Chains A and B, each alone.
Chain A
Amino acid sequence: MIVEHEAVMRAATAAGLDKAVKAFPQDLIAAAAAAKAFRDGLGGPPAPSDEPWPPMRVAAVS
């Protein structure tokens, strides 16, 4: 899985992971590649009307 090094480091910095960028760049590359594989496995976008799970439920008021 190929991920672009600079883009990964920018995303990690934006996520506040500066220390990991300095000390563990290879772990960030591996993590970004894994995330891409997981995302790709989800397939295409779902219908906009599909409700996420678990659905929101309001509590009863007694």
Chain B
Amino acid sequence: MTDLAFRSAVDIAAGYRNGGPSPIDVIYDLSSRIRQHDPDLHAMIAFEPEAVAAEARLRARELAAGTDRGPLHGIPVAIKDIVDIAGTPTGCASAATDGHVAKADAAVIERLRAAGAIIVGKTNTHEFACGGPSFDLPLPPARNPWNLDHHPGGSSSGSGAGVAAGFFPLAIGTDTGGSVRHPASACGLVGLKPTYGLVSRRGVFPLAQSLDCVGGLSRTVVDAGLLLNALVGVDPGDPSSTAAPWTDCLSDTGKDLSGIRIGYVRHFHEEDLHADPQMAKALDRAADLLREAGGTVVDIRLPPLEAFFSVNRVLLSSEGFAIHAAMLREKPEAYGALARRALLAGAFLSSDDYIRAQKLRTQLIHAVETCFSEVDILLSASSMEPPSRLDDPIETRRTYTRQARTPFSVTGNPALTIMSGLSASGLPLSVQLAARNFAEPLLLKVAAAYEALRGPLPHPPRYA
């Protein structure tokens, strides 16, 4: 077994084209890691080594024959188990789906296949992408590669755990209130929630359609951009699908941030909530690094976090209940307790609550748009503390309200979380960057500059 585990997608792709390990070698290596480590990590819900190896052979043959599908050709990508892959179950980590087998690929799978990616398998998730880490589901919850006793974040928990453990360089997640960015923060990764509507959700089991986004998890900023480039595209099958005004979100990854104005949203973690001092220090350090790169960093205020959080939760609960109402009436016992409680909340919200939340959402969108007339990028906290212990459900539940990810789920703006360092206990710290709608190229440029100045960080010791 060679050591390919922590190579970036960019490095793996370069190797394919200059005599390095082939897609077959890469998949052999990564499959061995998954078989060795997943029994403890529980990142995977479905993994069929023979099928994945066959896909690797196909991609290798294509490359040998001169058919190069681009930067993701032969790159392993894992898929959250609420996304349809034709002929395989979309279980949503739930007994309630009753072995439903997808008839067609989701739009993102179609795009990944067209780009030559190797679909590695299905990753673990909170049940129906809501609730929290549960021990009463068909499979146990994923664990954090930095410390198996800790929560890897969610709901795209297996996608985060698997990328952090070196199972694959890229994974697909979904984000309705932070479910790509939370595992990215908890597992020390880059998590990118694109602008609402930029990536089609056709074939993805919905949680709350006015909030749902498909996003990616990776270990580097450039890998996040490569994945997004492959996913972006208008799709008539998704009513919210919108065209991107660009063709390459990595068109400018120069490290000079001169002329770029960055608004530092301190009050999220200093007033609205009080972050762990290590997280606060990491945010101040990030502001310093962005200044060092030439950016102009100023303090800026958004509406209070509670307003964003309440709007997010009223919309999520109401829309989620509407989706699940029939199943909750018919077979509530098929759900785990956490998802059942989360979804049932919608039964106690009225049309008045829902419309009030949408009206407040309009005001919040205007407030954020106003800020983006003064600055180009927002810097804020993502999580307020390092990940909680999995055996502490009260603390885990508390951390779901102690975060600053919901603002950009509510407004639809693109947002990215990135590892900023390690806590004294060896768990990841993170920061969040957000941009105007469809400004992913600028978001990735600033994130890449931060990543370069921050410098390399270690991988989880158990897997390095």
Chain B residue with the shortest CB-CB distance to A44: B356
Query: Is there contact, CB below 8 Å, between A42 and B344?
Result: no
Q: A5-27, CB under 8 A of B: which get 1 and which 0?
A: 00010011001111110011001
Chain A residue with the shortest CB-CB distance to B354: A52
CA of A27 to CA of B349, assembled, Å: 15
Query: Is there contact, CB below 8 Å, between B347 and A12?
Result: yes
Would you call B62 an interface residue if the criterion is a C-beta within 8 Å of the partner chain's C-beta atoms? no
Query: Is there contact, CB below 8 Å, between A42 and B309?
Result: no
Q: Per a CB cutoff under 8 Å, which of A23, A30, A43, A51 touches B362?
A: A51
Residues in A whose Cβ lies below 8 Å from that of B362: 50-53
A-B interface contact total, Cβ < 8 Å: 109
- The range of chain B's interface size is 35 or more
Residues in chain B within 8 A of chain A (CB atoms):
210, 306-307, 309-311, 313-314, 317, 325, 328-333, 337, 340-349, 353, 355-363, 365
Closest chain-B Cβ to A35's Cβ sits at a distance in Å of 4
CA of A35 to CA of B345, assembled, Å: 5
Residues in A whose Cβ lies below 8 Å from that of B348: 8, 11, 31-32, 35-36
Residues in B whose Cβ lies below 8 Å from that of A43: 307, 360
Residues in A whose Cβ lies below 8 Å from that of B314: 38-39, 42
Closest chain-B Cβ to A31's Cβ sits at a distance in Å of 4
Chain A residue with the shortest CB-CB distance to B312: A38
Query: Is there contact, CB below 8 Å, between B340 and A41?
Result: no
Residues in B whose Cβ lies below 8 Å from that of A28: 344, 347
Chain A residue with the shortest CB-CB distance to B311: A42
Chain B residue with the shortest CB-CB distance to A34: B345
Q: Per a CB cutoff under 8 Å, which of A8, A17, A40, A45 touches B328?
A: A17
Closest chain-B Cβ to A38's Cβ sits at a distance in Å of 4
Residues in A whose Cβ lies below 8 Å from that of B317: 34-35, 38
Query: Is there contact, CB below 8 Å, between A38 and B349?
Result: yes
Query: Is there contact, CB below 8 Å, between A20 and B358?
Result: no
Query: Is there contact, CB below 8 Å, between B337 and A27?
Result: yes
Chain B residue with the shortest CB-CB distance to A32: B348
CA of A8 to CA of B311, assembled, Å: 22
How many chain A residues touch B (CB < 8 A): the figure is: 32
Query: Is there contact, CB below 8 Å, between A19 and B349?
Result: no
Residues in B whose Cβ lies below 8 Å from that of A38: 310, 313-314, 317, 345, 349, 353
Residues in A whose Cβ lies below 8 Å from that of B356: 42, 45-46
Q: Per a CB cutoff under 8 Å, which of A17, A30, A46, A53 touches B347?
A: A17
Residues in B whose Cβ lies below 8 Å from that of A42: 307, 310-311, 314, 353, 356-357, 360
Closest chain-A Cβ to B306's Cβ sits at a distance in Å of 5
Main secondary structure of the interface of A (DSSP, over half): helix
Q: Per a CB cutoff under 8 Å, which of A12, A23, A41, A53 touches B307?
A: A41
Closest chain-B Cβ to A34's Cβ sits at a distance in Å of 4
Among B310, B343, B346, B359, residue most surrounded by chain A Cβ atoms (within 10 Å): B359
Query: Is there contact, CB below 8 Å, between A31 and B306?
Result: no
Residues in A whose Cβ lies below 8 Å from that of B313: 34, 38, 41
Residues in B whose Cβ lies below 8 Å from that of A8: 348
Chain B residue with the shortest CB-CB distance to A22: B332
Contact A39 to B210, CB < 8 A, known contacts A17-B332, A27-B341, A34-B317: no
Query: Is there contact, CB below 8 Å, between B341 and A17?
Result: no
Query: Is there contact, CB below 8 Å, between B347 and A31?
Result: yes
Residues in A whose Cβ lies below 8 Å from that of B360: 42-43, 46
Closest chain-B Cβ to A23's Cβ sits at a distance in Å of 6
Among B317, B328, B347, residue most surrounded by chain A Cβ atoms (within 10 Å): B347
Q: Per a CB cutoff under 8 Å, which of A11, A20, A53 touches B365?
A: A53
Closest chain-A Cβ to B399's Cβ sits at a distance in Å of 16
Chain B residue with the shortest CB-CB distance to A49: B359
